[in-house]
Amino acid sequence: MRDMVIHSLEKDTPLRAGKRRPLPAGPETAVYCKARDYSADTVIPLHHHPDRHQLVYAESGVLVVRAGMGRWVVPSTRAIWMPAGTGHQVHCIGLVQMRSLYISPAAMSQPAAGPSAVSITPLLAALIRTAVTVKQPYREDSRDGRLMRLILDEMQTLPVLPLHLPEPSDKRLRMIARQLERRPDDASTLQDWAARLKVDVKTIQRLCARELGMTFGQWRQQARLLRALERLAIGEKVIDVALALGYESPSAFTTMFKRRFGLTPSQFFR
């Protein structure tokens, strides 16, 4: 197993407000862009941007982002929207070319209130690559200023993707969550978990509905599919991923994948 590069952050450190470390403010312009490349298994520790929204774009590689009580898997050519002030931690799966847009809240009239994974259009991807080369600060009435305004226009219509896995606060559900993270192929039923946790099946069902907004089966399925995204994005074969995650066959996995994401695995990563 490869060594994980972690910069002063324990793996299970909760995302509490008191732990956040703000990053320095950027230029006094509506939008600026930074490019960073990270080696495999780098972990960017918990931090937040108090005065800027951020669009974190994976030009290549895969990002696993934790924020609040949720986890997002962001494959290449996708991105995650992070509102200003939101604490988040990023784990780089494979070599990652990260391109981040930092946006002044005053530049967007109705931004999304919470983190979300979004699809990146070919036009926006090209604009981001160009924005990396823009020198700061720029004049709003210049070519660079018009480029940044076009970026803002493109961002208004980005489709949100179902790449989010809610994380529970209840200690009983957290035991299940840890097991699903370690063993996504675990086929334990609700009855099995109820016996282990010494509670009624209905108690787990109520907790899942209240804390996760989904059933136990939907939660486990989402955990498996997001783990599948991580593995497929670094080049593993569909058959190997399907069997490792507990699916009966590659076709069963592909069917579930398409039902959730609207595309087959090969189409999704094309």
Q: Is residue 12 part of a domain?
A: yes
Does residue 94 sit in the same domain as residue 51?
A: yes
Does residue 136 sit in the same domain as residue 182?
A: no
Q: Render pLDDT for 117-128 as a digit per residue (tens, 0 to 9).
A: 999 999 999 999
Torsion 170-14-65-25 (CA) sign: positive
- Rounded Cα distance between 78 and 45, Å, is 21
Q: Render pLDDT for 145-174 as a digit per residue (tens, 0 to 9).
A: 999 999 999 998 888 999 999 999 999 999
Tell me the angle at which helices 216-233 and 171-182 cross, rounded to the nearest 10 degrees. Answer: 30
Contacts of residue 229, defined as CB under 8 A and 6 or more positions apart, other chains included, come to 62, 73, 75, 163
232: containing domain: 169-268
Q: Is residue 235 part of a domain?
A: yes
Judge contact between 93 and 114, C-beta under 8 A: no
Choose one of 155, 183, 217: the last residue of a domain: 155
Choose one of 155, 182, 202: the last residue of a domain: 155
Q: In total, how many domains does the chain have?
A: 2
Closest CA to 58 of 88, 93, 32, 84: 93
Choose one of 155, 180, 212: the last residue of a domain: 155
Does the pTM of the predicted model rise above 0.85? no
Does residue 137 sit in the same domain as residue 91?
A: yes
- Rounded Cα distance between 244 and 201, Å, is 27
For residue 248, what are the CA distances in angstroms to 31, 183, 251, 253, 263?
48, 16, 8, 8, 20
The amino acid sitting at 46 is L
Q: Render pLDDT for 39-88 as a digit per residue (tens, 0 to 9).
A: 999 999 999 999 999 999 999 889 999 998 899 999 888 999 999 999 99
Does residue 9 sit in the same domain as residue 142?
A: yes
Does residue 142 sit in the same domain as residue 232?
A: no
